Chain A
């Protein structure tokens, strides 16, 4: 599109109009920015579109040079894409964030206690707070994890909890990710690039730092090592360079100062894990693994897995190696277990949930199923163990045929589906070919637990780049933004 002279000088946000019936992250209504964001809005406005375009180009080049890219392997060699990055930051006030932080810590504590309970006494099932069959039928429930106590009783070392804002502006939990949540490297790289392209804005806005993440993670892992911290060798275990998150695995290993290994680098002897080095086998004590449970140990789980390490389960069971995250966490982020999390918080902590969550219909309940089947065109249906925006039906945006297909699937396997009303995700000003426009966003904060639980200020803001889209996943046309937690002045 040819930019006219007028366009070149056009302020970035003054022509922006938020969507009706949707919470906008920047504006109460047209031309009135939210309290606390006035300064930032002015800084962005002053930049102008032309300058903004130049900086976006600079940022894209920096991602490319740094190799912060996705490879498109279906297209053989060399086709690489950067994860679309939108330079307009998403900003959250310090006060709002404090509430999120408390709520996330509370939620993780309850989920961690739930996992400890499920794999030991199962009190919550005996007390019938959570139905037993739901747990026993969960694909994430591993009988092999029963009776094993991970060091410090920590199951969820790293969690990514997806938050969204509805029209009332309150953050609610959409989804828990307690297995191998990804994306944190983008939080750190996005921030580094923002600092490079917007040094002046950065100097003026007071933004909470995210740099400490690798350090926190390293400490959390070392604290939970089976041996003394000074003797501990911790490694990051990756499925390999063809995994789409390989950049992140490598990034975390580099920033934590530990080694990145693949399954074939490790072996187990006498229930201890070793790494093959140029100077002979060496013990490994802590593994931050980015491989799913099912592929971790071909002796016990998926027999055909080439990614895993035969015998690693025995080493874990004997307490000779710490796995982060622990084995069997999938039972707690099963989408059909999600509706019970508020009850878990009440049950284990005797507290009311600080952050609420989205109303959910469980298709295995007859009454719910009936309602769901009658109202599919207004609901969002999700497979309980799918992720990445797959296995999903967005009723209001689907054809009749798609809706009928899901109806049949639900009737066939009710335990496999849940449904939720479509939440009008909040929007954030986002750069498009036609200037800035409202696009829907979510937020994935990262929570680290060692002996204590900490929340990284901010997290990954994902943005649905297409107009009217609700799907923020990178695999489906989503991009990211830097998330600024503003220090309240």
Chain B
């Protein structure tokens, strides 16, 4: 497929994933701060930090704004100046979808377009004012519906694969970032010694990743930092664990090697990097990570994910054109992409 279109597919789902995870963080935090008594500064401002928006926020607003819950929620939901606000992310998701409308299914397009119109015109704004919990729930459900619609109405080939890659890599990074921040602020609690506040915080973290039920079913040892780390990073079955996302991404890269080709292409650099990362995470025990420093481990996951994204760019989205090339290298002439 056309390189630019592949990149647009990738970003389309990446932006959707961002919007969803921000909506979830905001929704969970609203309930969470009702349960416990935190100093003002620790109630909402941490979400700005997780979003990586500390610097811009500091430039735009005075220090008192860090305690302004309405402002922070509006900043993360609506602000055009904030490139990762829900509105910005959905705007770009929808722009990307519009740009490649001929590639995605009509149903996928209509679902994205109608969510954007809902958000950017009256109904979304009204619901935000009257029932904020329902507002975030609507966003989360709608974005999940888009995933389902794409899954069921699009051919599972190159464009779909790149969409999935965008979603999975964004999700892996997001889980690692959220975990890193919470881990840092709560500290490595020991089993049997958690305070009620700590337990509430861990549960909120799990909910931010939609992982509470899945974790509780699995956890044999109760709620502790290391156990949650193990679950959110290394669980093989939970769709938001770092390992699950990276492993799925790696399988998609394998499929891409054979898409539209008679013989598999040489493994790309990004695929090699991804496989290496999966092997490393699998090969490290939680005990080793604890000794090394959880923070280092998570930072390294976030950084490596970003490196893989830039390598994808070089491998697929903007590859250098070689001096010599033969037409139709290894591709099936007259295949799906030679539709005429």
Q: Of residues 129 to 183 in A, which have CB atoms within 8 Å of B's CB atoms? A: none
A275 is an interface residue with CB less than 8 A from chain B: yes
In the assembled complex, the CB of A154 is this many whole angstroms from the nearest CB of chain B, namely: 18
**Binary B-proximity of A350-384 (CB < 8 A = 1, otherwise 0):** 00000000000000000000000000000000000
Q: How far is the CA of A391 from the CA of B338 in the complex (A)?
A: 44
Which chain B residues have a beta carbon within 8 Å of chain A's beta carbons?
1-6, 80, 91, 95, 98-102, 109-110, 113-114, 116-117, 120, 158, 256, 259-261, 265, 316-317, 319, 321, 325, 327-331, 333-334, 337-340
Chain A, residue nearest B101 (CB): A250
8 closest pairs, A vs B, by CB? A254-B102, A253-B102, A78-B120, A241-B99, A278-B316, A276-B3, A250-B101, A232-B340
Chain A, residue nearest B257 (CB): A279
Q: How far is the CA of A258 from the CA of B317 in the complex (A)?
A: 20
Q: Inside 8 A of A10's CB, which chain B residues have their CB?
A: none
Question: Can you sample 14 A-B contacts with CB below 8 Å?
Answer: A65-B110, A77-B120, A230-B340, A231-B333, A233-B338, A233-B340, A254-B102, A258-B340, A259-B5, A259-B102, A278-B316, A280-B319, A281-B325, A282-B327
Interface centre among A218, A250, A258, A261 (most CB of B within 10 A): A250
Q: How far is the CA of A233 from the CA of B1 in the complex (A)?
A: 12
Say yes or no: A279-B260 contact (C-beta < 8 A), given A253-B102, A254-B102: yes
Q: How far is the CA of A253 from the CA of B101 in the complex (A)?
A: 9
Q: How far is the CA of A222 from the CA of B339 in the complex (A)?
A: 11
A-B contact sample (8 more), CB < 8 A, given A229-B340, A250-B101, A259-B102: A66-B113, A67-B110, A234-B340, A260-B100, A269-B321, A276-B4, A277-B3, A278-B3
Q: Inside 8 A of B256's CB, which chain A residues have their CB?
A: 278
Say yes or no: A264-B4 contact (C-beta < 8 A), given A250-B101, A254-B102: yes
Contact with A277, one of B2, B80, B114, B330 (Cβ below 8 angstroms): B2
Q: Of residues 249 to 278 in A, which have CB atoms within 8 Å of B's CB atoms? A: 250-251, 253-254, 257-262, 264-265, 267, 269, 275-278
Contact with A222, one of B3, B98, B325, B340 (Cβ below 8 angstroms): B340
Q: Inside 8 A of A233's CB, which chain B residues have their CB?
A: 338, 340
Q: How far is the CA of A280 from the CA of B340 in the complex (A)?
A: 19
Say yes or no: A280-B325 contact (C-beta < 8 A), given A232-B340, A253-B102: yes
In the assembled complex, the CB of B98 is this many whole angstroms from the nearest CB of chain A, namely: 6
Q: How far is the CA of A246 from the CA of B102 in the complex (A)?
A: 11
Chain A, residue nearest B321 (CB): A281
Q: How far is the CA of A107 from the CA of B100 in the complex (A)?
A: 37
Q: Are B102 and A260 in contact (CB under 8 A)?
A: yes
Q: How far is the CA of A248 from the CA of B239 in the complex (A)?
A: 39
Q: Inside 8 A of A257's CB, which chain B residues have their CB?
A: 339
Say yes or no: A241-B329 contact (C-beta < 8 A), given A230-B340, A279-B260: no
**Binary B-proximity of A54-86 (CB < 8 A = 1, otherwise 0):** 000000000011110000000011100000000
Interface centre among B1, B102, B110, B328 (most CB of A within 10 A): B102
Q: Inside 8 A of A260's CB, which chain B residues have their CB?
A: 100, 102
Q: How far is the CA of A262 from the CA of B331 in the complex (A)?
A: 23
In the assembled complex, the CB of A272 is this many whole angstroms from the nearest CB of chain B, namely: 9
Q: How far is the CA of A279 from the CA of B321 in the complex (A)?
A: 11
In the assembled complex, the CB of A275 is this many whole angstroms from the nearest CB of chain B, namely: 6
